[in-house]
Structure 1
Amino acid sequence: MMPTPNLSRCFAVLFGITFCQLILLAGGALAQTPANAKPDVGYVGTQACIACHQEQYQSYLETKHSVSMVSVDPDQEQLPAKFYHKPSMTDYEVFRKGDQMIHREIIRGVDGQELVRNEHPVLYTIGSGTHGKGYIFKDGDFLGQSPVSWYQSSKTWDVSPGYDVPFQPGFGRILNSECFFCHVGDMDRKQGNPNVFHINEVAIGCERCHGPGEAHVAHYQLPNAKPDETGKIVNPEKLDRVLSEAICQQCHLQAAGKALLANKDDWDYRPGLPLTDFRVDYQYKLGDDSMRVVGHIEQLHMSECYTKTDSLTCITCHDPHHTPPPEDTVAFYRAKCLSCHQDQDCGETKQRRDSLAGNDCAKCHMPQLDTEVPHTAFRHHRIGIHRDEAPVQQANTGLASVLSLDDLSALQKQRTLAIAKYQVSQEDPQNVHFRDYGFDAARALIEVKNQGKGDAEVNTVLSLLAAAQRQPTIAKTLSEEVLEQEKSPKRPRVEALRLLAQMAFQKQDYETAVKFYREVTTYQLQPFDFFYLALCEQSLGNPQAAITALNRAASLAPNVADSHRLLAQIYTQLGQQDQAAKHSELANQLQERIQALQAQAAQ
C-alpha cells in the first residue's frame, strides 16, 4: 500500500505566504436576477398571500409541503406507547401530560436497574407523515431531535433513523438551522448563529417556491394596481428548466458532499436563481467513472425521458398545488405518462399490465425501493426499465458534481471540490479511495488562499487539517484569522474557537482555554465542550462552575461515565461525601453498561 502523503511537508512547501498580507476579495455580482430575488426584498409569510390567493392557498393545504413541520397536537398522536431498544439497553415511553406530548428515555444498567431518566416535551413533528414522523424538542435556546419516531408503514413507534445502534445519542442530538432547511418556511437566526434561531414560519410556505413577497404585496396595495410582470414574484412554470428545478433541488438534492460558495449560506438562495450560485453538491463516482445514482435528482437526470426532452422537469409530474386523492393516484400519474407516450408504447398488453401492476406505469417504471431509513421505501426516480436482479456493488472512487458547474470559475470549482473532499474524508476515513483526500483538500485550499481567496471556511478547514498533522503554529494562526474574519457565531468561528481552546488546554493555559470554551458553549451544545470547560474551571479553582458544566455534559450525554467520575472527585474535594458516593456508583454502573454494550456490538 502506498503511504499517505505527508501533509506536514505539504503545508511547509505550499504555505509560503504571510497571513497578515492576505486580502479577502469579494465575489462577483449575480446577473439576471428576478426582481424579488434581490437580497433587500423581505419575506412576508404565507398568511400575507391568502387574501388574494385563496384558491391557491387551499390547494397548497392539500400538499405535503404544508405539513413538512407542524406543532405537535397530542390528539393526533398514537398515545401512549412503550418499547425497549435492546441494542442500547434503553426503554422509551411516549405519553401525554396535560396539553403536551412527552418523550421519555430510561437508560438501564446490566442488571436492568434504571440508571438515568431523561424526558422532554415535544414541540414539533418533522416530516410529512407519509412515511413517518420525527419529533423536535427544545433544550434551553436550542432545538434537538428526539430519539423516538413514528413509522407510518408499520404503524409503530421505534428509535429514529440512525439511532438503531448500541451507542446512540439519545436526546443529545442538537440540531442547527441546516437541519431544518428543508422542513420550515422561514427562520431568524439570532446573531447569525445557525444553532439558535426563531422559526417564523413552521411549514414550507409560498415563498420557498415563489420567492420573497414584500415587493409583490406592496405593488398590489397601490391604488389601481395593474398586473405586474416585472418579476416581483417568481412563477416556477415560467422559468427555464435549470432554474425551475433549482427550486426543488434546494431541498430534494441530498448528495454525498456539499460545499457552500464563499460567504454564502443555504438560506441565501432565492427562487429564480441558479442553485450553484450558492452551493455545489457532489455525489460519489464509481469505478467505471459513472456517478452513483442514489437521489431523486440524479435518478431523474439519468432517465431517457429527461435526456431526450427539454420540457420534462420535477413539476411535470409533481403539481405543487394539487395532490391526487389515494384512489385517483394511479390514474393521475398514468395520465402524466400518456401526455408524452402512447398507450401502446409500453410493449405489454393491457391484460398483462393489469396482472403485473394494475395498469400502474410507475409500479414497473418507477418501482418502490427499500431505503436506509427503517420501515421505509421510496420511489425510484429513474424512469425506465428496472430489472429484478440486484445491482452490482461498486466501490466509491471519487466525487462528481451533480449539477453543471459551467458558470463557476476554475478557482471556485477547486475550492468547493476541496471542501467536499474534506467532508468525505472525515465521514469515511477508512475508505482506501479517500485516504488522500485530506492531502488533496489541503493542497487545493492552500492554492486558493495563496490567490487571495482565503475566506473563513477555507481557513477553518486548513486549520483543522494543520492541527491533525501536528502543525499547531499554523493551526493557531489560521484559527485566529478566522476569528478576525467571522464575527458571527457561524460554524467557522465555532470550530476556530474550539480548536484554540483545545490547544490552550493541551498547554495547560487554562485561563485562555476557559475563555474560548465559555464562548463555544454559548453558541453550541456539545457534551465534550462542557466536559473540557469543567476541567478548565476546576483547574482554575472554580469547583461550582465545574459542577455546573459537568451536569450540563451529563444531561447531553447521560450514558457516559466520565462526567460522573469527575463529579465524584470534585464533591470529594468539597467534603460532600453523599454526592461523591452517588456519582461514583453511577459512574461504575455506566462503565459496566458500556462494557456490556461493547461486547454485544462485537458479537
Structure 2
Amino acid sequence: MATASILVAGMGSPVSNAVPNAPATGRPAPPPRSDYAGDEACAECHRTQAVSYVLTPHARDSAPADRAHILGSFSPGHNVLHTSNPHIIVAMTEEKNGFYESGMDISDPNHPTGQAQRIDIAIGSGRHAQTYLYWDGDQLYELPVSYWGWGREWVLSPGFPSGQVRFDRPVVPRCLECHGSYFTWLNPPANRYVKDSVVLGIECERCHGPGAKHVALERSAKKPDPKTELAIVNPARLSHQQQLDLCSLCHAGAVQPIGDSLRFLPGDTIRDYLHIQPVDPAAPPDVHGNQVGALEASRCFGSGKITCSTCHNVHRVQENAESFSAHCQTCHELRACGKYKTLGAAIRTRCIDCHMPLLDSAKIVTSTGEQKLHALLRAHRIAIYKEAGAEVEQSLKAH
C-alpha cells in the first residue's frame, strides 16, 4: 500500500528519530544529495516507465499543497469538521496565499478563538486518504484534519484526541523517509529540516539507488559495459530476500529505526536499519502494519517464489482486486478451489476477495463528529477467511 499516508504518524511513533541508545548498524551516513540524479534524468532513457510511474500512488505520495493535490472540499457546507465537542470545529478555507486549517472554539459565537495554520504539504495520493503538514519556521508538523477517501470527507487525523484541535504533532525523519525521497535533518528537535532540501514524492532512486554516477556514465562519450558497470540497481536482479528487504523499508510496520533515516539503499539488509517485529497472523490489517511480514506468514510464501512484485508493478497504476486473481492462477488451478464445484468459473476473478479480503483496521481509526470510522484495508496474509469466502459465495449466487 505504497501509498499509504502518514495518517497515524505520532500514534506510538517516536519523537526522536532512532531507538535510544541503540548502536547504528549498516551504512554510517546517508548518501549526499549530489549522488542522486532525479526523475527527469531517469526519464531521458526510460520514458515509458516514467510516463506511467508519475500517475502511481508512490509517485504521488507527497506533493506541495495546491488545488491540484488537495482532495478535500473547501466549498461552503463541505469545509467544516465538527468534533465530538460541539463548541470545537475545524474550518478548511482557501485564502489568497494558500489553504488553511483553522481550529476554533465557538462557545461564544460572537468572539470565536482558535489557531490557523496553512497547509504546506499533502501526504498520500488520496487512493485511501490524505493528511497534511505545515511548516513553523524549519519545523514540520502534522495538521489535525485529514481527507478520508472512503467517505470523501474531512475527518480528524487518526490519533488526534477527539473533541480537541492540536497543531503540535511533530513529523519526524522516519515519516519523511517513507513519504518523500530526500531531506536534510537538523536535529534537534526531531522535526527540524532544511526546508528546500525536502524532495517530495517517491522518486525512481528510492528503489533503484543513487543514480548520478549511472547517468554520468550513460551520458559519457564511451558507453559503459552493461555487464560490468551500470552503477544502478535493478531490483528484479536482487536476491529474493533483498527484494523483500527493499519493500520492508516502508511496508514492515511502524517500527523503530536504528540510527538515522535515509541510510538504507537497495541491496542492504533491512534489519541493520529497522527493528522489525514479528507479525501477528491474527492482527487486523494496518496501513502502517507489517505487510511484508503478513505475506511471509502466508502458506503461499513457502514456495520461495513470491515477493511483493509478484503482484505489484510499481511502474504502473494499481490494478483492481479482480485483475490480481490472474497472479494467483499462475500457481493454483481454478478447479482445485473448494468452491469450484458449487460456483464454477465464476470464482475466476474472486481469489483476492476470498483470500486477501478488505478488513477494518484496528489502528487507523478516526471520527467525524460522534461517528467513529475505521480504515478498510487489504489483508496481506494469504489465507482462508471463512467470513469473506461466505460473502463472495453469497454474492455470486445472487447473480
TM-score (norm 2): 0.77
Distance 2:168 2:273 in 1: 30
1:161 counterpart = 2:158: yes
Matches within 5 A, 1:324-343: 324=318, 329-343=320-334
CA displacement at 1:99 relative to structure 2: 5.2
Distance 1:139 1:174 in 2: 11
CA displacement at 1:226 relative to structure 2: 3.2
1:243 counterpart = 2:245: no
In structure 1, the residue matched to 2:266 is 271
Distance 1:279 1:296 in 2: 15
Distance 1:88 1:189 in 2: 39
Give the conservation status (yes or no) of the 8 Å contact 2:279–2:293: no
Distance 1:236 1:353 in 2: 38
Distance 2:121 2:338 in 1: 48
- Structure 1 residues 114 and 346, CA gap change in structure 2 (3 angstroms): farther
CA displacement at 1:228 relative to structure 2: 2.8
Give the conservation status (yes or no) of the 8 Å contact 2:31–2:263: no
In structure 2, the residue matched to 1:102 is 100
Q: Which of these residues, 138, 145, 150, is aligned with residue 148 of structure 1?
A: 145
Distance 1:129 1:39 in 2: 31
Q: Which of these residues, 177, 181, 184, is aligned with residue 185 of structure 1?
A: 181
Distance 1:350 1:112 in 2: 66
Q: Which SS does the other structure have where 1:267 is aligned?
A: coil
Q: Which SS does the other structure have where 2:184 is aligned?
A: strand
Give the conservation status (yes or no) of the 8 Å contact 1:106–1:114: no
Give the conservation status (yes or no) of the 8 Å contact 1:190–1:196: yes
In structure 1, the residue matched to 2:377 is 378
Distance 1:150 1:364 in 2: 29
- Structure 1 residues 107 and 195, CA gap change in structure 2 (3 angstroms): same
In structure 2, the residue matched to 1:431 is none
1:282 counterpart = 2:280: no
Matches within 5 A, 1:219-368: 219-229=217-227, 230=229, 232-255=231-254, 257-260=255-258, 264-283=259-278, 295-307=290-302, 309-324=303-318, 329-349=320-340, 352=343, 359-368=349-358
1:118 counterpart = 2:108: no
CA displacement at 1:41 relative to structure 2: 7.7
Q: Which SS does the other structure have where 1:130 is aligned?
A: coil
How big is the alpha-carbon RMSD for the aligned residues of Structure 1 and Structure 2? 3.0
Give the conservation status (yes or no) of the 8 Å contact 1:216–1:232: yes
In structure 2, the residue matched to 1:583 is none
Higher strand share: 2
CA displacement at 1:169 relative to structure 2: 5.4
Q: Which SS does the other structure have where 1:86 is aligned?
A: coil
* CA distances 1:249-273 after superposition (whole Å, capped 9, x unpaired): 1011115x5251xxx3221111111
Give the conservation status (yes or no) of the 8 Å contact 1:106–1:116: yes
Q: Which of these residues, 187, 198, 202, is aligned with residue 200 of structure 2?
A: 202
Higher helix share: 1
Matches within 5 A, 1:416-495: none
Distance 1:293 1:211 in 2: 33
Give the conservation status (yes or no) of the 8 Å contact 1:104–1:117: yes
Amino acid at match of 1:381: H
Report the identity percentage. 26
Which sections of structure 1, spanning at least 5 residues, go unmatched?
1-23, 31-36, 390-603
Distance 1:284 1:305 in 2: 16
Give the conservation status (yes or no) of the 8 Å contact 2:33–2:182: no
Higher relative contact order (CA closer than 8 Å, sequence separation 6+): 2
Distance 1:291 1:114 in 2: 50
CA displacement at 1:98 relative to structure 2: 2.1
CA displacement at 1:55 relative to structure 2: 1.1
Distance 2:322 2:279 in 1: 36
* CA distances 1:441-466 after superposition (whole Å, capped 9, x unpaired): xxxxxxxxxxxxxxxxxxxxxxxxxx
1:215 counterpart = 2:213: yes
- For the pair shown, the structure with the greater C-alpha radius of gyration is 1
- Structure 1 residues 350 and 206, CA gap change in structure 2 (3 angstroms): farther
Which sections of structure 2, spanning at least 5 residues, go unmatched?
1-20, 366-372, 389-399
- Structure 1 residues 280 and 315, CA gap change in structure 2 (3 angstroms): same
Matches within 5 A, 1:582-593: none
Q: Which SS does the other structure have where 2:94 is aligned?
A: strand
Distance 1:298 1:112 in 2: 51
CA displacement at 1:223 relative to structure 2: 0.6
TM-score (norm 1): 0.52
CA displacement at 1:144 relative to structure 2: 1.1
In structure 2, the residue matched to 1:71 is 64
Amino acid at match of 2:148: Y
CA displacement at 1:224 relative to structure 2: 2.6
Q: How many residues matched? A: 344
